[in-house]
Amino acid sequence: MKTVITYGTFDLFHVGHVQLLKRARALGDRLVVAISKDEFNASKGKAAYSNYEDRKIIVEACKYVDLVIPELTWEQKQTDIITHSVDIFVMGDDWVGKFDFLADICEVKYLSRTPDISSSLIKQHLDGGSIRELQTA
């Protein structure tokens, strides 16, 4: 059985998240998703619209996801990979090169992002900008 893991905040769950999870799951037989806890996001200077528990429920409902775990620190990735017998570590291509150090314990893949959608873009739209205007800016 091949296990894949990915990490993220998964705030304002959207089609880009679904596409990432679908593509990650297609790489193996089991998909583990680590979702950033609210406290970890705060340490990065980020705030999610939805709290961790709500984001966890939403991601668990996705048919591509087999297990959701909390992300508490940057450093936990190696432990998670070993604990969950991970074969492939997946992140969006906005992280290219940042996790190559994990290649000695599993395969590392960076998947392209879904164009024209992100939680940040949605938040900007909710703050008053049109999605079309923000996409072309």
Cite the active site residues.
44, 46
How crowded is residue 21: how many other Cβ atoms within 10 Å of its Cβ?
23
Q: Which residues of 84-119 are buried (b: 16+ CB within 10 A; e: fewer)?
A: bebbbbbbbeeeeeebeebeeebebbbbeebeebbb
Q: How far apart are CA 128 and CA 125, in angstroms?
A: 5
Largest CA distance in the chain: 46
Q: Where are the alpha helices (DSSP H) in the chain?
A: 15-25, 38-43, 52-60, 77-83, 119-126, 131-136
